[in-house]
Amino acid sequence: MRMSRYFLPTLKENPAEAQIASHRLMLRAGMVRQGAAGIYSWLPLGLRVLKKIEQIVREEQDRAGALEVLMPTIQSADLWSESGRYDDYGKEMLRITDRHGREMLYGPTNEELITDIFRREVKSYRDLPKNLYHIQWKFRDEIRPRFGVMRGREFLMKDAYSFDLTAEDGVKSYNAMFVAYLRTFARMGLTAIPMRADTGPIGGDLSHEFLIIAETGESEVFFHNKFNDMSDNFKVSGDHATIVAEWTEPYAATEEMHDEDSCSVAEGELVRGRGIEVGHIFFFGDKYSKPLNAVVQGPEGPPSAVQMGSYGIGVSRLVGGIIEASHDDNGIIWPEAVAPFKVGLMNLGPKKEDCVEFCDKLYADLEAAGVEVLYDDRKDGAGAKFANMDLIGLPWQVAVGPRGLKNGVVEVKNRATGEKRELTPEAFLAEMAA
């Protein structure tokens, strides 16, 4: 993509409304713009990141055997009355009346709707297990939307729902999702720690939240420093139950669940920090299947209510979360897997014909090799170009100036480490295409 043709409205100054780094940087890097409190438009650069995160989430759900569906954003209130949550949900639910006076709502979550889909179609244990997920915009009328996309009112969520005949099988489905979550966050370059969670208004008995550690996180967290090591040397092997056991053995708790007295971690090994919740999984048995009468015929006996779990990931929150975990004073540092482009190519001699020609060729070669590249072909000065590249945080910056051109080399900078090297364009191309 040529920057001269792109839509990248960057800001030089810190916007006054942003209190935390990710919010500031997302506005400054031209990734999002606010439409109303907690409701954002995604501009081209931001949307590319959102889509990459979404795709990693999707691939790991698919790998775990979950099946993608797409449910609507608007739901009928009737189902929520059936489950008993229509009144309970309170003011966070955006309630809408259609022209016929029917009560509707903008979905804050989908347990009811998915259970309705399931109960209409599935009648026998032979069709189990099933896990259905979708990636869809949710609306929750948060009392205090803040921190940009981290606590929005409209936000993109992946939510999966598992259906099993027995609680024992339900726990197997839960474990499969637990492992999928570990893989998902590791692929994004994140240290996400599973913490036993309060089951809260969704209810049930087994639940974990996945939190990434960042100073600006909303929750206070306490965890064993073993997790740092496990994340740095991330690997999961063995069956799901073994992996879950391994990842739930070290102490980890959010402030609601932390208990000084029962926490037996030695003072020097306990890390106190702050965390951002990026995922939350529940096993809640027949909490919804019973009131909604989602029953299946088992191998013997009368039909029974299916055992369910639900599994959320905050896809849009992750964009902010990753920035919180990975930035410096100059801007964002994208992990390669979610970077909007892999390479930022800068022409430092945009008024010199040979420099333009050289850059145009390198740009064409990179594109032909399938490397995602953003090419700063504008007439701005070198200082502005470097500052802009640091701000938007592409993993590899490559600068071509008159001096390098004379020596037949380009200057390559690794955004994360700051390391700079001079390479021939051929060597650079080979490295990027590998």
Applying CB under 6 A, which residues contact ligand ATP?
109, 140, 142, 151-152, 155, 157, 277-280, 312, 314, 316-317
Residues that bind Mg ion (rule: CB under 5 A) add up to a total of 1
Residue 344 interacting entry, from ligand ATP, Mg ion, none, C-beta within 5 to 8 Å by type: none
Q: How buried is 266 (Cβ within 10 angstroms: 0-12 exposed, 13-18 middle, 19+ buried)?
A: exposed
Closer of 310 and 388 to Mg ion (Cβ) = 310
Strand order in the sheet with 94-97: 74-76, 103-106, 94-97
Q: How far is the CB of 153 from ligand ATP (least distance, A)?
A: 7
Under 8 Å between Cβ of 394 and 341: yes
Nearer CB in complex with Mg ion: 209/411:
209
Would you tell me how many other CB atoms lie within 10 Å of the CB of residue 377?
Answer: 17
- Residue number with CB closer to ligand ATP (191 or 316): 316
Residue in 201, 197, 227 with CA at minimum distance from that of residue 212: 227
Q: Based on CB atoms, which residue is closest to ligand ATP, 278 or 332?
A: 278
Site for Mg ion in 279-318 (CB under 5 A): 280
- Which phi-psi region, left, alpha or beta, contains residue 165 (left: φ > 0; alpha: ψ -120 to 50)? alpha
390 binds, among ligand ATP, Mg ion, none (CB under 5 to 8 A by kind): none
Helix, coil or strand: residue 154: strand
Give the nearer residue to ligand ATP in terms of CB position, either 157 or 332: 157
Pick what 155 binds: ligand ATP, Mg ion, none; C-beta below 5 to 8 Å, kind-dependent.
ligand ATP
Are 64 and 131 a contacting pair, CB within 8 Å? Answer: yes
> Mind spelling out the 3-state secondary structure of 355-419?
HHHHHHHHHHHHHHCCCCEEEECCCCCHHHHHHHHHHHCCCEEEEECHHHHHHCCEEEEECCCCC
Q: For residue 94, how many C-alpha atoms fall within 13 Å in the half-sphere facing its CB? A: 16
Residue 350 binding result from Mg ion, ligand ATP, none, given CB thresholds of 5 to 8 Å by partner type: none
Bridge pairing between strands 396-400 and 192-196: unpaired
- Residue 349 interaction partner, one of Mg ion, ligand ATP, none, beta carbon < 5-8 Å per kind: none
> Which of the choices Mg ion, ligand ATP, none does residue 395 contact, using the CB cut-off of 5 to 8 A by kind?
none
Cα–Cα distance, 376 to 360 (Å, whole number): 10
- Of Mg ion, ligand ATP, none, which one does residue 152 interact with (CB within 5 to 8 Å by kind)? ligand ATP
Nearer to ligand ATP, 131 or 347 (CB): 131
Least distance from ligand ATP to the Cβ atom of residue 180, Å = 14
Residue nearest to Mg ion (CB): 280
Pick 125 or 282: Cβ nearer Mg ion: 282
* Amino acid type, 111: E
Q: Minimum Å distance from CB 312 to Mg ion?
A: 7
Shortest distance in whole angstroms from residue 166 CB to ligand ATP: 25
Contact residues toward Mg ion (CB under 5 A) are 280
